[in-house]
Amino acid sequence: MDPVRVPLSCFGQSAPGAAGYSRSTMELTASPASFTADLLNCSALAQLTVDEIAGLFMAALDRAGATIVEAVSHAFPETGLTCVLILRESHAVLHTWPETGMVNIDIFTCSTRLESLAAIAELGRSLGADAVSIQEISRADGHGPRPDPRR
């Protein structure tokens, strides 16, 4: 099965080359962070289509301040969905297991503007999760001191 590509027009956004990056989007002083979440016993998961789940994921990230550049989803026959969002702020990934009600979410961001925890909480509510487990991992950035070219 080929990946489902969602056109950028669905998000009211322009092509990646046309949408400039600003200092507010790519903050040079922000420390990158990775959020990993497990949503347990999601009661609504089995009743939703893969398109509805991907839509909820994209909408939650959009409301949390993310700018979606591209979305790619792959539905596994009768076993779940993987949805990858390329964001101006970095990326987000969702994996589902409808047979067990499990959802895993990974969000990596270089921007304090993106409210990752709000997106995770919204998805937990939308999918009817009994419990949500979240880990935040600080990540090294590439904005450290630049080497002196004279050396």
pLDDT, tens digit, 9 for 90 and up, residues 137-150: 987 766 565 566 67
- Locate 76 and state its tokens: 């596994």
Catalytically active residues are: 90, 95, 110
- Locate 77 and state its tokens: 């026959």
Would strands 80-87 and 90-97 be described as parallel, antiparallel, or unpaired? Answer: antiparallel
Query: pTM of the entire structure?
Result: 0.76
132 neighbors 122 (Cβ within 8 angstroms) = no
Confidence of residue 22 (pLDDT cuts 50, 70, 90): very low
Element (H, E) at 71: strand 68-76
- Summarize pLDDT for 73-121 with one digit per residue, the tens: 999 987 899 999 999 999 999 999 999 999 999 999 988 889 999 999 9
Q: What is the pLDDT of residue 145?
A: 59
Q: List domains and CATH numbers for the chain.
A: 32-138 (3.60.90.10)
Cβ neighbours of residue 75 under 8 Å, at least 6 residues apart?
Answer: 1, 4, 50, 81
